[in-house]
Structure 1
């Protein structure tokens, strides 16, 4: 039997997230593999995968904030807002006269904090049951609704001037659902020269970092973290006795212990260090919100 766990993978460029899931299924010998958010084929970096029963934990990870390293090319627009698309426009030399250090700082400041963002039309967002990128590829006009996101950090790390373009290496901390391609597009539009993304790497998802991830060539059938280790990083942990663990698994409440936890949901860990499940408060009691499948030991 395949032990459940959370696997951190460093995705290479050129592969879809589904490709990574497929390879993980083969490496672990199970179909029960899920992910906590995809990456575009062009992008590299951290994918958080759930193995077997630990796929249930992905619900508590998918909404975590994220960190990206990216390169924005100002001066060109593309059909996809990234380097995979065809070039649509190149900025006129006159337009560059308005691009100064001050205007660049102002443009980045306008895209920092709580903002309203229209996702790229080639995103995976579903429109009437179909992915937006599928509709675009079919020749349909797609209009996506703006969404509220938070960009808590948008720093320029380095800049390089080219023939008719300016490349910015940036670091971005943002809420789940933020599109870095859209930041590149909107920064370029605000400066009047256009922009798109040429490189993207995700380095963090919540408490998980790409430095702890493995490459596809290093998949051994062993997860990076046990369910208990992963849950304790995402949620407050809560020690339960063997009897309480049994009660939770049978749908019973733990009476009178809700005050011991500052907030819920919380991860209930048994005396052997095994994740029983996720609990939530019900008055003075604790009730199971999600139970992990019991693993024979």
Structure 2
């Protein structure tokens, strides 16, 4: 069985058409058909059912295709790893991140890194706290920015980059808008706009309200950070957000209020797997990130 045969097989399975697959692969249709025939002969099964000019996977063909995709992905990863060892400044890094660092922190880091290593490529994946931690464990993500940083997870190595306070975002028409700083209990009569249950930023906000002595009324929920800000801007309610989510990104018609009591904050950091070594490109970026934040005290 040849790697070429697997690639041909996957392309035919994807397009369900030999001539279209041959055109995509830039090979003669006769050569493609011959290689698929040799693969079927070696396996001793038919992988495709012919239906005129089209083909469909047989039952065993579907099962084989699922494993062939995994095998090809493993080969691609292995090839990429070798290429990166030869030149770590040309690799690809899969980075995970939450929406709360998407507008300021992440672009700043990547922009600074690209100035020194312009040929490194990034595959960015945004997701929830659980998505990020599970993505690292399942090797779907190489490195993830996260907040708060996991306190203890046997499968993850964590580094805290900085800590930041939460602030209240209120409409400019709010009765407290001119105060600048408030104890959190002063918002106990307000409607809150928060992330849904299960989101870590929701938990931090609700826990802070409980600590301030009240249970927040949350009639509005949203998974999108900009949507939450927009609802506050429209006068729908108030919210609690990490301060960096508002850096140079304050929606019109809103006011930021610092929280004097209780202290509401989170750590922001980076997580990598404990179960495997980072590739050269990943290690290059990881060490850059750690060094970058050591020299920027304004984040602390």
Q: Taking structure 2 as the reference length, what is the TM-score of the superposition?
A: 0.25
Which structure would you say has the larger Rg?
2
- Decide which structure has greater helix share: 2
- Decide which structure has greater strand share: 1
